Amino acid sequence: FSPASDGDGRKSRRRVLMFPLPFQGHITPMLQLADVLRSHGEFDVTIFQAAVNEPDRARHPAAAAGYRFVTVGAGVAAALAETFPNRGANSDFAGMILRMNELLRAPFEDILREVLAEDAAGDDAPAAACLVVDSNLRWMQEVAERLGVPTLSLRTGGAACLVAYMTIPELCDKGVLPLQSRDPLQLDMPLTELPPLRLRDVLFSATTTHDTMATCLERIIESSRRSSGVIVNTFDDLENSDLQKIANGLGVPAYAVGPLHKISAGMESSSLLAQDRSCLEWLDKQETESVLYVSFGSLASMDPEELLETAWGLANSKTPFLWVIRPNLVHGSLQQVSCLLPDGFEEATRGRGTVISWAPQQDVLRHRAVGGFWTHSGWNSTLESICDGVPMICRPQFADQMINARYVQEVWEVGFELEGKLERGMIERAVTKLLREEEGREMRQKAKDLKNKAAVCIEEGGSTRNTINMLVNLIMSF
Ligand code: UDX
């Protein structure tokens, strides 16, 4: 690797290599981080994209300016596509991540060798400084290590989630895991090692075996531990104590660089689905803080019966709503949204509700008309909601979502979890509580307090800005 300064002692340009996991909730923060690093002025960026779920490069605003996109695994594209979750929330996500790593490892090694050889040949491109790799892609990190490339590990989830994953081996040693039964009493057992989490909150997914989950989480932790630093899309005032636990527990620095979406270019370019921006005009016509925004991210799903209950719950709540039904939200269904909704729903909600297939979510949450968010509690959605002061109804399904929901309810008190079988009456009560009752108002106030704290973090001299400067210096030092 070339030194960070040229013959005159001036800093020379460097190239940062980045490899996101090919899912919306992982691609977006990686590209946001790329944008933040680029805006510092010292870096070019090479993004490795697995040959599946690739965002449209032509739409990337900076495609011509110091960004290079490299596809990895074109020869195994069909096999990669087969690993994809086709059973919605019931998919074995941990197994899929392990398989994806196996498929990508060899093609990545070939491509990384090529990229490094170009650097060595001394063409005009700045030399690679390091690889920022999604913490789920430990196998790619191993390739980089073998070829002598320093690595940083990006956690696209929150700090609390990583701390929970770090504690899994201890829970195994104590015999708390593997799970003995799915008896609700056992599932609700509080974890004294991880308050306020319960056993059910760390179970990853119902269809993943214990061994697969343990291996997947072990590799995530290894990715963090073996890196020169863990980059977390969170901010100090939100997760200070968990950030400390990461740094102390793993022995590597934890860089809280979030909320990335507030300091980077918009994410339209990284969106895998086209955003329907017409909903913003509809929001313009609604009263302040009156609308419930309903969206379950890019992977969570529901069965037809749950869709029906959701539809009638929203209709009966008499609350204005903006509901995202993305093409594969209902298990195995690619049907038009209009075909999925029950008869009579449109008449019952005319003028009060809008259903679209994909939203410009960050703009929606920022809109003054939005008063609440019913979410699956993916980390990006949670952070976006918090940073715009919007309280949440949480309906987590897998991976880190249960942990996020628990923190929303018990630690930050900016929302509450909707537990049990989804049923229209419970939805109606939850919507009323969030948007029209005192409890909901208190949650909104707490969310606004956090929004203000996030705003301070990203100002000049704020914790996030300082951390990014430290990260830039670290990368320049490689
Ligand atoms: C996945 C996992 O579900 C999540 O638990 C993990 O933390 C990250 O990976 P995803 O399900 O996509 O992510 O949820 P989330 O993390 O919330 O990310 C969704 C992203 O898509 C957000 O940035 C959100 O703004 C965007 N989005 C969502 C839209 O732009 N439009 C929509 O209609 C819905």
User: What span, in angstroms and rounded, lies between the C-alpha atoms of 88 and 85?
Assistant: 6
What per-residue confidence (pLDDT) applies to 137? 98
Q: Which of 10-14, 104-108, 135-139, 198-202 has the lowest mean pLDDT?
A: 10-14
pLDDT of residue 59: 67
Residues enclosing ligand 1, CB less than 6 A? Answer: 23-26, 28, 156-157, 271, 295, 297-300, 324, 358-359, 361-362, 378-381, 384, 399-401
Q: Please provide residue 89's backbone torsions phi and psi, each rounded to the nearest 5 degrees.
A: -65, -15
Over the stretch 344-359, which tens digit does the pLDDT of each residue have?
Answer: 999 999 999 999 999 9
Q: Alpha helices of 45-135 — where are they, by DSSP H? A: 77-83, 93-120
- pLDDT over 70 for what percent of the chain? 92
Mean pLDDT of 396-414: 97
- What's CA 137's distance to the chain center, in Å? 15
Q: What is the pLDDT of residue 332?
A: 65
Q: Which residues does 391 contact at the CB level (< 8 Å), separation at least 6?
A: 371, 372, 373, 385, 414, 415, 434, 440, 443, 444, 446, 447
- pLDDT category at 147 given cuts 50, 70, 90 is very high
Q: What is the pLDDT of residue 206?
A: 82
Asked if 115 contacts 121 with a C-beta cutoff of 8 angstroms, the reply is no
Residue 468: the pLDDT is 97
Burial-class residue 246 by CB neighbours within 10 Å (0-12, 13-18, 19+).
buried
Which residue owns the Cα nearest ligand 1 atom 6? 378
Q: How remote is the CA of residue 228 from the centroid of ligand 1, in Å?
A: 27
* Phi, psi angle pair for 334, to nearest 5°: -115, 15
Least confident of 70-79, 270-279, 301-310: 270-279
Does the structure show a pLDDT above 80 at 63?
no
C-alpha 100, offset from chain centre: 18
Q: Ligand 1, residues 379, 383, 403: which to mutate, most atoms within 8 A of Cβ?
A: 379
pLDDT at position 182 is: 85
Find the range with the poorest average confidence among 21-35, 110-124, 159-173, 276-290. 110-124
ipTM of the prediction = 0.98
Find the 295 Cα to ligand 1 centroid distance in Å. 9
Task: Name the least confident of 32-36, 180-184, 196-200, 438-442.
Answer: 180-184
- Residue with CA closest to ligand 1 atom 25: 361
Query: Tell me, what's the pLDDT at 338?
Result: 66
Average pLDDT over residues 238-257: 98
Rounded to the nearest angstrom, the distance between the alpha carbon of 358 and the centre of ligand 1 is 11
Q: Is the pLDDT of residue 14 over 80?
A: yes
Least confident range of 32-41, 100-109, 431-440: 32-41
- In this prediction, residue 367 has a pLDDT band, given cuts at 50, 70 and 90, of very high
At 211 the pLDDT is 93
Residue 339's pLDDT is 78
pLDDT range class, residue 1, cuts 50, 70, 90:
very low
The closest residue, in CA terms, to atom 28 on ligand 1 is 297
Q: What is the reported pLDDT for 66?
A: 75
Instruction: Please name the residue whose Cα sits nearest to atom 3 of ligand 1.
Output: 378
pTM (2 decimals)?
A: 0.95
**Confidence (pLDDT) at 283:** 98
Q: What angle, rounded to 10 degrees, do the helices at 236-250 and 210-225 form?
A: 90
Mean pLDDT of 157-176: 97
Work out the pLDDT band at 126, boundaries 50, 70, 90: confident
> 50 versus 10: which is more confidently predicted?
50
pLDDT of residue 85: 67
Pick the residue whose CA is nearest to atom 9 on ligand 1.
25
Res 475 pLDDT > 60: yes
300 Cα: distance to centroid of ligand 1 (angstroms): 9
